[in-house]
Structure 1
Amino acid sequence: SSYQSFNISDPKPRIIHKATVRDRLVHRAIYQKLYPFFDRTFISDSYSCRIGKGTYKALDQFRKYANKVSQNNTKTCWVLQCDIRKFFASVDHQNLFDILTRYIPDQNILKLLKEVIGSFNTQPGIGLPLGNLTSQLLANVYLNEFDHFAKHKLKAQFYIRYADDFVVLSDDKLWLNQIIPVVQRFLQDQLKLTLHPNKVTINTLTSGIDFLGYVTLPHCWILRTKTKRRMLRRVNQENIESYRGLLKHCDGHKLMQGLDSQIDSPSLRLRRSKAGMTKSVVF
């Protein structure tokens, strides 16, 4: 398989690898065949690229767990946050294939999966392409090993993972510090992955937890500052409704007022006029 590569920079720089049309059809067929089976093996607190899950379900669960740990904000809730360093670029092909063979008895499907996995690498035998539909499923299959370790071996009752980011909530800061090297050893020994050294933190809920695009506080979510600035910089009549939808999930009334005023600002009207968009939006 050949891949077309292109860069995106929202919200951060990434290289996306796009397969050919024929290969994308094959990837979709594989995904549709395997997703229902593998989804049943995943823990309930894995939220990325799953039907009925997603960002807001993860944030809702985070808030529920925070309320339990803090006993409705009467105790300190500590949050361990971790990020797996260059996850997609670091997935070991043989490790992934070994995991798949434990679940899939059909040799024809395994042969096809081996071809798909081997069609891309960041270095020999390593890496999944960002952009493949199959990569989303295979990423969850790979990290499902860690999910079960976290839940059942570490006994991390209040654990949530979204893609390569995960959090563990507890009222015991010492225990959270103690499990960090255990997590690091498992990821290294079993999955050949490492934690990002600058993205392992333990903070209190009251200090604000920046997770999945929002800062969670005891009584509300607020949009992270970088996202606010980006929205104010890019708002226009085409994207205002999608921003409105984003803000309805958090304490974003004042920001919405700011976006509305931006839409009606003289400078934006001038830019629209120059671009041939003379109609204004009425709310």
Structure 2
Amino acid sequence: MRIVKAVKEGKWRLVKALQRLLSHSVSGRLLAVRRVTENRGKKTPGVDGIVWDTPEKKMNAVQRLLQRRYRAAPLRRIYIPKKNGKKRPLGIPTLFDRAQQALCKLGLEPVAECTGDTNSYGFRPERSAHDAAEQVFNALRLKSSAQWILEGDIKACFDEISHNWMLKNIPTQKRTLRKWLKAGYMEKNVFHDTEKGTPQGGIASPLLANMCLDGLEACVVNNITEKRQHKVNVVRYADDFIITGDSKEWLEQVAKPRVIRFLVERGLRLSEEKTHITHVTKGFDFLGWNIRKYPNGKLLIKPSESSIKTLAEKTGE
């Protein structure tokens, strides 16, 4: 609460001091180790092969988190399959690096929650994809609602985010953040440098990516008059988002160029093959749902064909 209050009052020096106080506290370090050793990846080691599977190892980790000379270890790279048949790279940090990230996240997340976009729903406390779908429903359910949708997808978001932008704009300990970003990764016993991106697999990575994309709503809509005139709504879940508008031309000629400029500053770009402008009566897919308004004015949200296919494959039907 003290960090939240300081952010709202614009006292950024106090925010920094409170973050440091939290990262050095016993309760903060205990909570960081607890979160690392209770999540699904608790038995997945990093490049050092170490897991914290005893109370003694966990308490030793709590003490080690006080060390001043912190150095991040390279990530262990693995690949997991994607829906399109390709593979997504994951960077697995050591448990100690994960605990450092969890500790940093304790002080950074309150800042992100105060400054984040109103309609951002991915990887945030007490928010979910269902909340994002509900917001889309509210934005489109009326006869007078917007009729056109820009479906946006950011190409390789986690892999392409600019390190320079993050180091300049993320309000956290710059030295520690730089060490995470520049840690590199090991693949087949070969070390590789990392010059951009925040690895999928790190505890703090979703938060960092969210903070990089916060501001998208304000970028798309300059003022409340424009928002009402063009029936603009921006709903984002991580790197997937939709923008509503009163016309295809406004979305194509105004909204999309603004999004492109916003992303370029952060080293990112739109995925052209996944970014479309669609009329609401044609329907569109978002977060595993198909959303469509029918001629009688009813807006229906139902599982998308790809979601049904994935479920059928999992159940063997």
Query: Into which bin does the TM-score normalised by the smaller protein fall?
Result: 0.7 to 0.9
2: CA distance, partners of 1:10 / 1:198: 16
Taking only the aligned residue pairs, the percentage that are identical comes to 24
Larger displacement relative to structure 2 (135-144 or 120-129)? 120-129
Equivalent in the alignment of 1:110: 174
Q: TM-score, normalised by structure 1?
A: 0.73
3-state SS of 1:186 partner: helix
1:1-283 to structure 2, matched below 5 A, reads 1-12=73-84, 13-68=87-142, 70-71=143-144, 77-100=147-170, 103-104=171-172, 109-120=173-184, 124-152=194-222, 155=226, 157-179=232-254, 180-188=256-264, 190-218=265-293, 219-235=299-315
* Contact 2:75–2:92 (8 Å) recurs in 1: yes
Q: CA deviation at 1:124?
A: 4.9
- TM-score, normalising length from structure 2? 0.66
Asked whether the 8 Å contact 1:94–1:125 carries over to 2, the reply is: no
Cα distance 1:110–1:37, how it changes in 2: closer, same or farther (>3 A)? same
Paired residue type of 2:314:
R
- Residue 116 of structure 1, CA deviation: 1.6
For residues 101-159 of structure 1, the C-alpha deviation after alignment (integer angstroms, 9 at most, x for no partner) is xx45xxxx222122122224786521110011111110011111434322446955401
- The 3-state SS of whatever aligns with 2:206 is helix
How far did residue 61 of structure 1 move? Answer: 0.1
Q: Does structure 2 conserve the Cα–Cα contact (< 8 Å) formed by 1:120 and 1:127?
A: no
CA displacement at 1:177 relative to structure 2: 1.2
Structure with the bigger percentage of helix: 1
Once residues 31 and 135 of structure 1 are traced to their aligned partners in structure 2, the CA distance between those partners, rounded to angstroms, is 10
In structure 1, stretches of 5+ residues that fail to align are 237-261, 263-283
Provide the C-alpha distance between the structure 2 equivalents of 1:152 and 1:118, rounded to a whole number of angstroms: 35
Q: State how far apart, in whole Å, the 1-side matches of 2:164 and 2:215 are.
A: 15
- Cα separation, partners in 2 of 1:149 and 1:64, compared to 1, 3 Å: same
Aligned residues: 226
Calculate the aligned-residue CA RMSD, in Å. Answer: 2.2
- In the alignment, structure 2 segments of 5+ residues that lack a partner are 1-72, 186-191, 294-298
Distance 2:161 2:148 in 1: 30
Query: Distance in 1 between the 2:93 and 2:263 partners?
Result: 29
Contact 2:183–2:194 (CA under 8 A) maintained in structure 1: no
Tell me the secondary structure at the aligned position of residue 207 of structure 1: coil
